[in-house]
Chain A
Amino acid sequence: QSALTQPASVSGSPGQSITLSCTGSSSDIGAYNYVSWYQQHPGKAPKLIIYEVTHRPSGVSNRFSASKSGNTASLTISGLQAEDEADYHCSSFTLRFTVIFGGGTKLTVL
């Protein structure tokens, strides 16, 4: 099964809003509302920031929001801050009862 598709890199200026995309298929993103997003800073473990498409775990900034349409999920970061510079990974549960990740997007804050 191929990985979910994410842009390799995106960039934005402080204060700006940016949206990261994650494209899958009817066997994963399109099949369930089990899309998750993870933030990973260099040398650190991934951190869950979104689960079940739109839900934020306790302690995650409300500057992070997410949605899904068809086979594509999106993560929006509003009021971009320097600390948001990191890799962002999307994932989805699949019809085969497995989990599939995207290739990751490197976010640069200019």
Chain B
Amino acid sequence: EVQLAESGGGLVHPGGSLRLSCGASGFLFSNFWMSWVRLGPGKGLEWLATIKPDASDRYYVDSVKGRFTISRDNAKNALFLQMNSLRGEDTGLYYCARATTLWPPAWFDPWGQGALVTVSS
């Protein structure tokens, strides 16, 4: 069974940092583009970042560019999101999601259960 499990969420002060992890199982992780998507309170889903299977290419939404970094460890079947300079509007439920094997990484299936990030003083 394909499974994704996020960890590392929590409460952080504005300006602080947090690193999310996502453990993958049940599929050949190194073959897939992988992404992070968040759900803000009272908002819709927001795609944040996508990384190529071999980590040689990454894409970000403008609102997190320069603050967030997506990375992966194919040997450990793990995906990461390093979040720096956090703001209140970054509060939300952060999902790890498997994209496609081929270009473009245009849809996500499946998704993890999410990690809650709260940015507040």
A residues with CB within 8 A of B:
1, 3, 6, 32, 34, 36, 38, 45-48, 51-52, 57, 89, 91-93, 97-104
Q: Which residues of B contact A57 (CB under 8 A)?
A: 109
Identify A91's interface contact among B62, B107, B110, CB under 8 A: B107
A104-B45 in contact given A45-B110, A46-B111 (Cβ < 8 Å): yes
A45-B62 in contact given A97-B104, A101-B45, A101-B46 (Cβ < 8 Å): no
Cβ distance A105 to chain B, nearest Cβ, rounded Å: 9
Q: Which residues of A contact B95 (CB under 8 A)?
A: 45-46
Q: Which residues of A contact B43 (CB under 8 A)?
A: 103
B59–A104 CB distance below 8 A: no
Q: Which residues of B contact A97 (CB under 8 A)?
A: 59, 104
A57 to B108, CA, bound (A): 11
Q: Mark B30-49, 1 if CB is under 8 A from A, else 0.
A: 00000101000001111100
